[in-house]
Amino acid sequence: MSLRHALLALVAVQPMTGYDLTKHFERSVSYVWHAPHSQIYPELRKLEKAGLVSARAETRGESGTKRTYSITPDGLEELVAWVEQPTGRGPVRDAFRLKATYFEYGSFENARRQFQAHLDYFGEECRKWEAHVSQIERRETVLIEKRLSATPDELHEAVVAYKVHAYRGLIDQARAEVRWARRGLALVDTLEAAHGADGAEAPSAGRAGTRSGPEAGSGRLREGSVP
C-alpha cells in the first residue's frame, strides 16, 4: 500500500499530471520506495476509481490530451490515516546476506569481489543521499519548494526536519553496510592467509568437487564434506 500513499502525498502538494508524478517520484520518493513507471500509472487509475484522486483531462498539443490528478477530501483522509497508523516490520529477505552465508562454495576471490561490490554500491548510495539531504536542508529541491509553498509557515521546519531525518536514516544504514563489507573483506584476507599458512594450494577456478587434488586453498567446500 505504500505506493498508493506516496502518490497521494505527491498530489497533496499540488495537482500533477502522470508525467509530473513520475518525475517527482524519481527525484524523491524512489530513494525510499522503488516503483517503475509501469506500476505508477495503473496505481493512479486505482486511486481515481477509489475516489482518492480526481482527474481532469486537458489538451496537450494539437490533438493530444493529458490527465491532471488532484487529491480529494477522501484521499487526504486516507493519507492522514496512513501516517497515523504504526507500520509493522515484515520478515527479513536479504539476498546478499543469504548468499554470503554460503561463500564457502566459491573461491576467496569471489567472496572478495562480491564484498567489494557491496562496499562500492553502498558507498555511492551514501554519497547520493548525503547530497540529497544537503539540498533539502537548503530547501533547494523542486518538490520541497512546492511542498513548502503549499504548507503553513509554522510547519515549514517540520516539513524539512522529518525528511532530513528519514534520509539520514538511509545514510546510517549505508554506512553500516560499508562497515560490514569492509569486515567481510578483512575476513576473506584472514581465511585466505590461514589456508596459505597451512600449505594449501592456490585458489582454483574449477567447480567444487571436480578436481582430484586438495581444494582447501580455494575457499570452496569440497564435494561430500557436508553431512
Query: Do 178 and 99 share a structural domain?
Result: yes
* Residue 123, CA distances (Å) to 117, 118, 200 in order: 10, 8, 34
* Of the residues 28, 61, 84, the one at which a domain ends: 84
Is residue 131 located within the same domain as residue 163?
A: yes
113 and 180 co-located in one domain: yes
Domain final residue pick, 35, 64, 84: 84
Record the cell numbers describing residue 80, joined without a space. Answer: 492522514
* Range(s) of the domain holding residue 20: 2-84
**pLDDT 10s digit of each residue in the chain, 227 long?**
588 998 999 999 899 998 888 888 887 777 777 778 788 889 999 999 999 999 998 777 676 788 899 999 999 999 999 999 988 877 878 899 999 999 999 999 999 999 999 999 999 999 999 999 999 999 998 889 989 998 999 999 999 999 999 999 999 999 999 999 999 999 999 999 998 765 555 454 445 444 433 344 455 555 444 44
pLDDT for res 221: 53
Kindly report the backbone phi and psi dihedral angles of residue 143, in degrees, each rounded to the nearest multiple of 5, phi listed first.
-70, -40
User: Is residue 164 domain-shared with residue 104, that is, in the same domain?
Assistant: yes
| pLDDT given at position 203 | 52
Query: Cα separations (Å) of 196 from 46, 213, 218?
Result: 61, 16, 10
Cβ distance 58 to 196 under 8 Å?
Answer: no
In a domain, 30, yes or no: yes
The DSSP output letter for 29 is G
